[in-house]
Structures are given as C-alpha cells and as structure tokens.
A and B are shown apart, each in its own frame.
Chain A
Amino acid sequence: MNTLGRVKQGFYFDSVTLMRVGRELSGFPGVAEASVVMATEANKSILAMSDLLLPEFKKCGDQDLAIVVRAKDAKTANEALAKAEEMLSRKRKPAAGGAAEAPAPRDLASAAAALPGANLALISVAGRYAAREARRALDLGLNVMLFSDNVSIADEVALKKLAHKKGLLVMGPDCGTAILNGVPLAFANVVPKGSIGIVGASGTGTQEVTCIIANEGSGVSQAIGTGGRDVKDAVGGIAFLDAMQALADDRETKVILLVSKPPQPGVLKKIYTLIRKINKPVVSLFLGEDGTPATLEQAALLAVAHAKGEDPVKALAHLTRRDEILAAEARQIVAKRKKPKGRHLRGLFSGGTFCAEAQVVLDGLIRNVYSNAPLGDSHKLKNAWKPEKNAVVDLGEDEFTVGRAHPMIDFTLRNKMILEQAAAPDVAVILLDVVLGYGANLDPAGELVPAIKQAAKKVFVVAGVNGTIGDPQNRAQVVEALREAGAHVQLTNAAACKLAGLIAAEVARKNR
C-alpha cells in the first residue's frame, strides 16, 4: 500500500463537494482509502486517526486543501490524486455561459445586490464562520435559515435578539428543515400549499408531519424551523415564539402545529401563555411527553382534521383501526416463516426524531428498549456501535457523524450495520427509516436494496418511507424496490415502528 497526498494552498470548497469527490476517489480501482478535506485542526485529527495525516499536512491551515489517497501502488495513488485535482478544477470552473456572464458574488452584500428581491439567506458554511454570515444577512434585512451547527449559544441568542428587534426570523443554528411560501429548504419535502402552519424545533419531525399532511390530502402554509436549542431556557424560545406569533397573524394559516422535543420549563410556560392568546386551533407535540398527541403521526392527523373541519376524535379512532390491521399483518408475516430466529428488534435510524418517535411507539409493545438517544423509559446503550437487546440507534448522533457525511446522504455505515445486525443470533427484526425529499440521498433504494436483500433472508426488515409523491426520489419506485428486496414498507415512521414492534413481539411469543 502507498499513501500519497497533495496540498492545494488557498483553495476552498464546501464539505459536501469535498465528500463527493472523496467518495468518488474511494471507488477508484486500486484505491483503498481516500480523503479530500480542508486542513482544519478537526479534519487533521480525523486524518490522523485513519493514519492518513501525511507530514506535509501538519503545517497546513484552514484555507488549505489536503488530498490523500491510500492505494495498492504509487502509480494508482498518483492517478487518483490527479483525478481528484481534475474533479475539483472542473468544479471550480465557472458555469459556461455568455462571454459577459458575471462570476458568482463573493459575499452576501454583493449577492443581495444581484438579487434585489432577496428575503432569505440560507447559510450552511462551517459553524465557526456561520454567525458572522448570519449577522451580515440580518444587517442586510434578510431573514436567516442557519443550517450550520457548532454555533455558540451566545451567538445564537445575540442573533435571535437582533432578528426579533428587526422583525426578522432566524431559523437555527442546526435548522435542517423549513418550507417557506411553498419552497422546501435544505432537508425538506415537496408538499402542497395549504392552511396548516408548522413551527418545528426538530428537522426530521417537521419533515414527517409535513409529509403526513400532504399524504392525507391537506397542505402547509409555512413550516418554520427554529433549531433544537431554541426551546432551551438559555435561548428562551425567541424564534419559536416569534414564529408562532407570525403564524397566528398569517391569514393563510388556519391551524398551527408545534413539533419539538419537550421544551425547558421557562420556554414551555411562554409557549402555553401564547397558545392561550392565539385564536386558532393549536396542536402541540412535545415528543416524549405523555398525553395526546404522542407521535408525529397523531399530531399531523389532528392538525389535518382541524384543517378539514373534521372531528379530531374520529381521526385518532381511525389510527386505532389501522393498528389492528397492522397487528393482523404482523401475525401473518411471522406465520409465513417456519423458524424465525432471535427475538430482538434493532432500529437503525438516519433521522433523530424518528428514533425518538420509535421509542414512544415501541413503549408498551416490547420491553427493555435501549438507545444512544434514550427517551422516556428507554435505557442508554453502552456502546452505540454494538447495540444490544431491543435497541434503536440514531446514526445522526455525533459519535457517528464526525468526519462522515450525514446518514441521510451517505448510506455506507448503515448498510454495514444492517448486515452485522441481521447476522446477530438474537436479532429478529430490523427497522429502518428512509427519508425522501430535497437534501436526502437521491437514490435511497439503489443504496439500500443489496443490504436489505441479504438481511431479509435472515430477519424481518421493516422500513418506513417518509416522503411525498412530489419528492424528487419518486416514492412509488422506492417503495416498490424495497418491497421487492424483501422489506415490509409503511408510509409513516409510526406505522413502521408499530409493525416492527408487533413482529418482534410475535416472534418472541413464538420462540418462547
């Protein structure tokens, strides 16, 4: 094996571009490992862990690009390095166009001047630079969606206070999902315009409720993200409350749906005070709290019932009937297999809120649920890489994502874990979420089918496909391909969790 590298001084590319190039390089014949990163301290320590930190990288800084390849021989490594440079220079070259086409503006002010009607800045640069850009956007009178994470609480509070004063919105930091005026932003689904306005402190939670609303034939007026930390007392729910008020004042919005993990007491109090002042139906789901609604699915259906002027009680009764059908289906599925192995369920989630909802749904169906992100009565997993008992794992947690693309984009790690878990003697069911929409992997079926095919020979595979018919992935084809591969597919996460839990319980009963 030969490990060779190159340094490009003063080059900058966003991390997604670099990961794509890195991935393409890794697939190069004869290449064992490849990495293309900005030479930040964090990235250098990751390179060091994989033994890819070449001596020449040590003196490099944030603005230098480091390319490293480990290959079967020096010739292959050099070819791969040349290929990387070629891919990056292709990327760097401005789009072909007329001779007088202007290059992309270099900062927010020039960009705003080039787009005089601009009203939103969508910021996804590395966290340590993000607050500066957000402040500039606010100074230019732009609302801000701050996708970046690793922004300090102090910066978050300062930005949100400034925005509040200016009558602007700061969504985030770490805001993954929003739909404004019908336009899906970052990780979001294609849903029709409608009368339900959403405030979400959880990205995948917001994705799931907007999808269910669309699938039930209703629509969304606005889906405003806030970032998960907004509902902590340190931030005080500034964005959450501003967003609620904005939806209360919005004529298109007839029903307000709130989605969050349980807010801290001070913020919760302010939310309830504001709810009482709002003269519209407000459905609130604080996931992990007792009561109704308890799941994203229930919350979305209640909001739809309000929007359609239907009886909310009937909407939930409909769910009870659906669950009875799922129970029958579970018995049928298990009966088809002569000797199902194991007894435990393993959920491998790309969406954090899906993992949380799973724990709510599984509570009461199966016992001893473990998670790396435990909720309610769940237990903390000792080692997220080696799940045990009935376990649901959030693969979007930091322990999995440092130096790796998010599991909604890159399926490599999850596919590996699907095969490992399917082979484990105690495992009976594997539960997956498959997130569609913009931002997510454009070919999830292509990525998952080989692993599911293998796994389904040994265990039951249940997948929740979370998306709409408008999403760019073509939901019908995704569902068809997963079913063909042997997965049992549901169109909400709650239903998939229910089915998986019922199957696990049924197998356990049978093998007792």
Chain B
Amino acid sequence: MSIQKLFSAPLQVVNVGIESFKEACEKNGAPAVQVDWRPPVEVAPESEAILAKRAAKIEKANQKVMEIILAGTPKLVGLDVARNVIPGMTEDTILHAGPPITWDRMCGPMRGGVMAGLVYEGRAKTIEEAEKLASSGKIKYAPCHEHGAVGPMAGIVTPSMPVWIVKNEKYGNIAFCTLNEGLGKVLRYGAFGDEVTQRLKWMETVLYPVLKAAVAHSGPIDLKNLIAQALHMGDEVHNRNRAGTSLLYRALAPAIVATCDNKDDAVAVLNFINGNDHFFLNLSMPVCKATLDAARNVKGSSIAVVMARNGTDFGVQLAGTGDLWFTAPAEVPDALYFAGFTKADANPDIGDSAITETGGLGGFAIAAAPAIVQFVGGSAADAVRYTHQMYEITAGESRMYQIPALDFRGTPTGIDVRKVVEKNLVPVIDTGVAHKQAGVGQVGAGIVSAPMGPFAKAYDALAKILK
C-alpha cells in the first residue's frame, strides 16, 4: 500500500465528529458516512488492548457459540411440577428472577411474590406469617437461571408450581418456566391475597393436568417454528404475544378436546388461554433459555447468554465467563404508564424476560411488531431503527426468526459484549413495569435500555481471563 492509492481513487470519507465536515464532502462529490460517535465507556485501561490482541481466539469461540445458538431446536415436550423436575429444587427453595439476591435487598414486588408463593404453598396462613418466614433465613433463594429456569417479572417459582418443559433437542438440554397467570392481580407483579392464591391453585389442579395430557397427546411442539410464524404475524414475543398465543391455541385445542374428559374444565382452560394475550410469553422465554444455555462455557466467547433483572440489580452472564454474574443497579423504565400512574410509582426493571432479547427476540425484533410501536416513539420507522441499531452489537443474524419489514432479514442475535462497550451502545429491552410496592401489580409497559455497568464489568472480566 502507498499513499498513491489514495490519489488514484475517488475520495470516500468516514466522518467522526463535526457533522458539517461530512456535508461539505458530499457537496463536493465525495461520498461520506457520519459515525454516530459517543465517548467510550469507562473500562480497565488495559482491557481493550488485551481483547484486541486475543481477537482471533474470541472470534473463533464466538463462531462456535453462534452456531450453537442459531442451530438450537427448542421444543415443548411436556409439563410437570417444579419439585419433580427442576434440578436442586427443595421444599425450602424459592427461585426468583435476575441475579442472586438476599431478602433484605429484594424490591417490593419480588417480596410480594415470595410472600404470595409461601401462602400458596401453605407454608404461611397470612401475609404477616409469610413475611416472617421469608426473612427468617429458612428459605433458600436462588436465581431461576441457576436452575435451568426462567420467570417473568418477579419470576417466583415454588415447589408445587407446574412448569413447562422445553427441550433443545439438538443439544439435549432442558429449560423450565411457570405458566402465565394472566393480567390483573398476579403473583409475578408482586400481588398477593385470596384472588392470587385461588388462581394459582386452579392452575395447579385444573390447567396443569389438562395441558399435560394435551401435550402428551399432541407430541412435541416445535416452538422455534411457531415463533418464526408469530414474528411474521406481528409479535416480537416479549411485549406482544398475541400471535404466539393464538398459534399455540391452535396447536393445543384439538388435543385438549381429545384428552379432557371434563367438558367444563376443557372450556375453562381454553377460555383461560384465549383470554390471556401473554400466555405464550412463558414459552418464548424458556425457548430462548434452552437455546442459550447450550452455548454456555465456551472459553473465550464474548457473547451474552443471560440478561436478567431482579428489580434491584441487572445481571449479565457471558458464554466465556462461566457462572459469573456481572451486575449493576437496575434502572426505572421510561415507559408508557397506565392512567393514574407515573414513573414515580415504578419499580426498577425486573424479570428474566430479557432472555428474549438475549436470544434475538423482544426489543431486538421490535421491527416485526408494528402494533406496539407506541412503546418506542409511535411510528413504525422508530421500531425499525431500534432493530437496526441492535445489529450493531450482535454477532450474527437468526436463520429462522425473520422480520418482514426488513425484507425478511434475520433478527439481530448474539450480543457481543465487546461491541456493546466499544460502541457505547446498550441493548434495548421491551418490558412491563411493576409498581414498586408489593401487591399493586403492573403499572405500565415500554422499552428500557440496559445499564452499561454489567457489560463494562463483563468486558473487564473477559479481558482478565484472556490476559
């Protein structure tokens, strides 16, 4: 190469900084691109150089991780009760959303969920009793993610709760998730009381056995295929699950009718699914969990396999950093609030549902869901821009999940922590918002940017490992 080469080709300019310089280039016939530049994220001074030096090794690890993520085959294979199937589940275990947390640091809605769970399990008669037990040290709290599970919002899983079983057939691993309770006063938003307990009991005694028999009858349901269809029908399977729920209903209804002897129960179950547009969320989540879990523990990989929040902290795990959690305080979402509520009522971001974004869905696929663009600024173009931006921080594109508005381009998949930090661009997450007090429930929904802190820490940790 020599400077001569510069003289012999038309000038084409990448402009970093003052924008009028780019305009002047274009006016004088030189094609130019403006970099939407931000100051770099603060990380350990040596990290960038280490990761640059190890780039080849990281790329190789990431290729392996991406192949695993893109080739996963998550299927619904059955249902069971948590204590029977979730590894490490004891009678004193309560699983929760997000990174590890102790009772004293739990936010209101998560505490509410724990207390509701203890009442539901018959471990406490009243909420006061439940609170006492919850804080006694007798209960073992652990993240869903550390037990092969995921849970929306508070993500509470107690031993008696029925769970979906999703199997990644290609790699043999399994993921679990509770059944979606619907809207209104529900445990996952921290609500408690008779209404909540009764619904949970009904789910355990009616919904669960009916669904279990139906899935056993129908055989495994290919959820990857189902999600691909749902994307074409306007879902991003995080904040919009109407199409996914409808498709699941079509798959399950004949099996329910075929297997359920009690007509009233069959009607009740079908109406319950039909009446809850988010019913499918508790399947899109374990689909992503099963897909991403298979890619864990690939040494050197900078791809995220978990983003999760417990309402206090936001946590990230990488494929290349084992079981380490990288956390920072969770932020209060800038969301659309229901009438009568404001940001002041909102709890910081909560739930394992960011597993959908980690898997290339949810906020990353928002361009597929024009019906919910009021969450992102009001126009379909805004949604498209969000998805476009996520291609900047991902390592690949889904081969199966496609976005019609982008000429069926695959969704941005595989968050590369290097890109997040070096471009100072964090993932966007679709989210529901819980009231900060236990027992109130949902107060809004919208989009939230992940905090940079966990990614900066993960970046430094990866550099340290690869040093």
- Chain A residues at the B interface, C-beta cutoff of 8 Å: 12, 14, 16-17, 62-63, 94, 97-108, 110-112, 114-115, 117-126, 129, 132-133, 137, 141-143, 147-148, 166-169, 180-186, 190, 221-222, 242-243, 245-246, 249-250, 252, 438-439, 472
* A250 CA / B7 CA spacing, docked (Å): 8
Cβ–Cβ < 8 Å partners of B31 in chain A? 115, 117
Whether the Cβ atoms of A148 and B17 lie closer than 8 Å is: yes
Whether the Cβ atoms of A120 and B1 lie closer than 8 Å is: no
Q: How would residues 311 to 344 of chain B score, 1 for a CB under 8 Å from any chain A CB and 0 otherwise?
A: 0000000000000000000000000000000000
Kindly identify which residue among B5, B12, B35, B407 contacts A104, using a CB–CB cutoff of 8 Å: B35
- Chain B residues at the A interface, C-beta cutoff of 8 Å: 1-7, 9-22, 24-25, 27-40, 380-381, 384-385, 388-389, 392, 405-407, 422-425
For this complex, 29 residue pairs linking A to B, each with C-beta atoms less than 8 Å apart, are: A14-B37, A94-B385, A99-B405, A101-B384, A103-B385, A105-B33, A105-B392, A106-B392, A106-B424, A108-B14, A118-B12, A120-B11, A122-B15, A124-B17, A126-B39, A133-B16, A141-B1, A142-B14, A147-B21, A167-B1, A167-B2, A180-B7, A183-B30, A184-B24, A184-B28, A246-B3, A438-B20, A438-B24, A439-B21
Cβ–Cβ < 8 Å partners of A169 in chain B? 3, 6
Query: In the complex, which of the residues A100, A112, A133, A166 has the most CB atoms of chain B within 10 Å of its own CB atom?
Result: A100
Cβ–Cβ < 8 Å partners of A243 in chain B? 3
Whether the Cβ atoms of B35 and A106 lie closer than 8 Å is: yes
Given A107-B35, A181-B10, 11 additional A-B pairs, CB 8 A = A97-B381, A101-B385, A107-B422, A115-B33, A118-B12, A122-B16, A124-B17, A125-B17, A147-B17, A185-B25, A242-B3
Q: Which 8 A-B pairs have the closest CB atoms?
A: A124-B17, A167-B1, A104-B36, A246-B3, A106-B423, A438-B24, A167-B2, A183-B30
Chain A nearest CB, measured from B416 CB (Å): 12
Cβ–Cβ < 8 Å partners of B13 in chain A? 118, 120-122, 183, 185
Cβ–Cβ < 8 Å partners of A63 in chain B? 38-39
Whether the Cβ atoms of B40 and A180 lie closer than 8 Å is: no
Please, which residue of chain A has its CB at the minimum distance from the CB of B9?
Answer: A119
Whether the Cβ atoms of A122 and B14 lie closer than 8 Å is: yes
* A406 CA / B146 CA spacing, docked (Å): 57
Chain B nearest CB, measured from A267 CB (Å): 19
Please, which residue of chain A has its CB at the minimum distance from the CB of B41?
Answer: A63
* A447 CA / B385 CA spacing, docked (Å): 40
Please, which residue of chain A has its CB at the minimum distance from the CB of B370?
Answer: A99
Chain A nearest CB, measured from B155 CB (Å): 28
Whether the Cβ atoms of B388 and A120 lie closer than 8 Å is: no
Whether the Cβ atoms of B9 and A121 lie closer than 8 Å is: no
Whether the Cβ atoms of B24 and A105 lie closer than 8 Å is: no
Whether the Cβ atoms of A121 and B16 lie closer than 8 Å is: yes
Whether the Cβ atoms of B423 and A16 lie closer than 8 Å is: no
Chain B nearest CB, measured from A67 CB (Å): 18
Cβ–Cβ < 8 Å partners of A181 in chain B? 6-7, 9-11, 30
Chain B nearest CB, measured from A90 CB (Å): 14
Cβ–Cβ < 8 Å partners of A117 in chain B? 9-10, 12, 31
* A121 CA / B381 CA spacing, docked (Å): 29
Chain A nearest CB, measured from B50 CB (Å): 15
Given the known inter-chain contacts A119-B11, A246-B2, please indicate yes or no for A103 contacting B389, CB distance below 8 A: yes
Please, which residue of chain A has its CB at the minimum distance from the CB of B382?
Answer: A94
Query: In the complex, which of the residues A108, A117, A119 has the most CB atoms of chain B within 10 Å of its own CB atom?
Result: A119
Kindly identify which residue among B11, B19, B407 contacts A17, using a CB–CB cutoff of 8 Å: B19
